[in-house]
Structure 1
Amino acid sequence: MNEAATRQRFLFISNGHGEDWIAAAIVARLMPDICVEAYPVVGSGTAYAGICPIVGPRGRVDSGGARTAKGSLRRDVAKGGLAMLPPALKFLRSVRDSYDKVVVVGDVTVPALAWLSGYKNLFYIDCYKTGAARLYSSAERFILKRTCATAFCRADNLAAMLREDGIDAKAAGNLMMDTIPLGDYDAQSRRRHPLAITLLPGSRGETADNFARQIKALRKLDTGSVPDIFLAVAGDLSVEDLAGAADMQRSNLLSTEGDDLGSLTDGALVVHLLRGRAMGNALAESDIVLSQAGTATVQALGLGKPVIHMTSAKDRQSRFLDEQRLFGEARIAVPGDPNAVAGALSKLIASPEERQRLGAIGRQNIGGPGAMEHVLAALKR
């Protein structure tokens, strides 16, 4: 009998850029003993490239699936976001009996799609709920109880709620810290200054604008205090769009490193570009992070890097406050004004003691790695 035919077949479903990377890291540890296919519900799913086949229809919405901005769901619907649902449901129904296990990585959106498609006994990895504030709602518990057999949560109180509903739920550690992406990029060789900073402008609709605001803040620093700057380019974002938004020019002088994307410069600042799949390489060399990202912010904080986050009138306050209760002082939230960002950045640059203090808070609040082995063991049972 063909060896591939005797191996278990898994389907991984993820619904966001950070979720794709977490899922892909798990898949890489399962292959080649298990046949795995991935269905990234939203976006291109570039995290799975070279790891496993991608299946299913590609869905694209204006928000990229993020729910941190007020009215994002309403805008997605208004701009045709519901059009992605029929193809997704049709696909999920067509493959319902094709896999030994279906693994969901993300928020409750995907279990909801699975519920509508008749799925049961899902393996659920919750990357959204922090357990620091709002817990599972009655509607979320209704869906999860009817679709999930096993779950890994980020906090004990979340897992306890699901256990009450008959789900085998655990909180074995922060899986995000087991899945920080590392790639082919030597950040250390590009260091020229005492400090370094990583820019994480996000992976969704306002990424170019976020990057432009971050650059405006860096331009306001005293010349002598400008750090080395790294930019992790998420997914299939256009470097040209980023360069245009920040009024910078791109250098295409690339090294032989697979994740080197060259650099951007305006004659004063130099921004070293790397693919998002090498983000961990840049974080390891950095002292401070400017971040508008989701999963990547958690990973930066867990590594002990203070994060400066630009707030916006568009922010959904309930989600922002939930996150801030978990992050504490380690994430410094300032208005998205270049002067405010530059002020916060200058204070951190000038105070190694404050960077150390905030870094310790981030590591404590986020927790360390250790969940991966528990997840793999449960999947292989």
Structure 2
Amino acid sequence: MRLLCLSNGHGEDIIALRILQALQHHPDCPTIYALPIVGEGHVYQTAGVPLIGSVKAMPSGGFVYMDGRQLARDLQGGLITLTLDQIKAVRSWANEGGASLILAVGDIVPMLFAWISGVPFAFVGTAKSEYYLRDETGWLPRSSWWDDRIERSTGCIYQPWDRWLMQRPQCKAVFPRDRITSQILQRFNVPAFDLGNPMMDGLELNGLELNGSPLDRPENSSDWSASRPLTLALIPGSRPPEVFANWELILRSLDGVVEARPVNCLAAIAPKLDLDEFHQQLLTYRWQQTNENSYTIGLSNKKSTLTLIPGQFAECIQKSDVAIALAGTATEQFVGLGKPVITMPGAGPQFTPAFAEAQTRLLGASVTLVSQPNQVADALRSLLNNPDHLSAIAENGRRRMGNPGAADRIAQQLIWQMQKIS
């Protein structure tokens, strides 16, 4: 048996690799190949998964849908030639024969590639969720009448052309990111399986259980200025140069926070980012360096700390109470632990006002969206003074993001589907 994994983005590559690694632990593991449609597939290469076809990093980094100018830059960078070469490579792989399955991870683009191949495929939908349109109580209000009318008209976050591909006999299984999306797709006769979200896999720390928010506070310590230490995760994203602009917004937001109470800040810095820029901005905002990656600010009896933690995302979010985040997948993972996030729009290309607003619909009560950095302190105070809201946030995050173990469950379903094919 052979399996080809198609994915279209760095986050999608990571999710796909979790499923592939779960497959590799199965006694009936197929021969695995991958083709990252966006980027160069470093995630696959580091893990030793062989690539087929051409790969190339485009100027947009995969965010062409957010800005027409990004699409223009990608076209100038050879997007059309790259796409045609990749489709040719997928067809060539499919024509080699034998029991074969394609795993498409992301959105309609890898699913379309899979359909063009002519071989059976499965789809992991990472980009769309019914939570963008509705929650368990009904439709969500939209600021734009046009968006509201159009998105409700088809009764599903996945448009008719998406569902048409999912309804083909060639499509053997669809794995949506949450239960509500699975239930809606099943109404359209899509072979959707509610097996959870692989985003929540791989976040465990030395047996640390993903239960209970560390924000559980004694009854006599509910005030925001209480002496209980509070740990903030700072999540600026991962894509330069946007990440550095986001970092400055986060540092500006901390001005009001540290004036009110001491906090311990853990900055989740993506691997391979230049730490010098983070250090320089910290010094600009009057943080005093104490050792290589640690800083303090404030008086001795009211001192806050900040530590840069490159490449240790799981450690950072597990040890934090609240996040100040301008990121996509990382924000969702933090929410999935049952913890609250405060966010604000950046300049893009990813974390624009439109993206931030959409994220609040996706994640619901777990995300507090403010318009300016100086509003973060008040938002944090409001959160910590409302224990009932914090309890609702803990339940909301786990419901929307699911339990760990999805990669194993999806891998098992893929094995069953491949056994049927063979």
Same fold (TM over 0.5): yes
Q: Using the TM superposition, name which of 123-132 and 199-208 deviates more.
A: 199-208
2:164 to 118, 142, 151: 142
Q: Which residue of 1 aligns with 2:412?
A: 377
Q: Which residue of 2 aligns with 1:19?
A: 12
Aligned residues: 356
1:14-53 equivalences under 5 Å are: 14-32=7-25, 33=27, 34=29, 35-48=31-44, 50-53=46-49
Q: Which residue of 1 aligns with 2:401?
A: 366
2:176 counterpart of 1:153: yes
- Report SS of the residue matched to 2:35: strand
- Higher CA-based Rg: 2
1:142-193 per-residue CA deviation (whole Å, 9 max, x = no partner) reads: 344456321111245544565566642212333322x244579x9xxxxxx8
Q: Which whole-Å CA distance do the structure 1 matches of 2:121 and 2:33 have between them? A: 15
Q: Using the TM superposition, name which of 211-220 and 151-160 deviates more.
A: 151-160
Unaligned runs of 5+ in 1: 1-7, 187-192, 254-261
1:1-381 equivalences under 5 Å are: 8-32=1-25, 33=27, 34=29, 35-48=31-44, 50-56=46-52, 57-66=54-63, 69-71=66-68, 74-77=71-74, 80=77, 82-83=79-80, 84-97=82-95, 100-116=100-116, 118-132=117-131, 133=133, 134=151, 135-146=157-168, 148-156=171-179, 158-159=181-182, 162-163=185-186, 167-177=190-200, 179-181=201-203, 194-205=229-240, 206-223=242-259, 225-234=261-270, 236-244=272-280, 247=283, 263=293, 265=295, 270-276=305-311, 278-312=312-346, 320-335=356-371, 337-348=372-383, 354-369=389-404, 371-381=406-416
Q: Kindly state the Cα deviation for residue 333 of structure 1 after the two structures are TM-superposed.
A: 0.7
Normalising to structure 2: TM-score of the pair? Answer: 0.71
C-alpha contact 1:38 1:55 (8 A) present in aligned 2: yes
C-alpha contact 1:218 1:226 (8 A) present in aligned 2: no
Identity of aligned residues (%): 28
Amino acid at match of 2:10: H
Q: Kindly state the Cα deviation for residue 353 of structure 1 after the two structures are TM-superposed.
A: 5.9
1:342-377 per-residue CA deviation (whole Å, 9 max, x = no partner) reads: 432344456666544433333344333453343122
Amino acid at match of 1:209: A
1:59-104 per-residue CA deviation (whole Å, 9 max, x = no partner) reads: 3233322367454754554653625323433332332345732212
- Report SS of the residue matched to 1:91: helix
C-alpha contact 1:21 1:181 (8 A) present in aligned 2: no
Q: Which residue of 2 aligns with 1:189?
A: none
Q: 1:344 to 1:236 in 2, by over 3 A?
A: same
Normalising to structure 1: TM-score of the pair? Answer: 0.77
- Report SS of the residue matched to 1:221: helix
Q: Using the TM superposition, name which of 317-326 and 129-138 deviates more.
A: 317-326
Q: 1:203 to 1:274 in 2, by over 3 A?
A: same
Q: 1:340 to 1:103 in 2, by over 3 A?
A: same
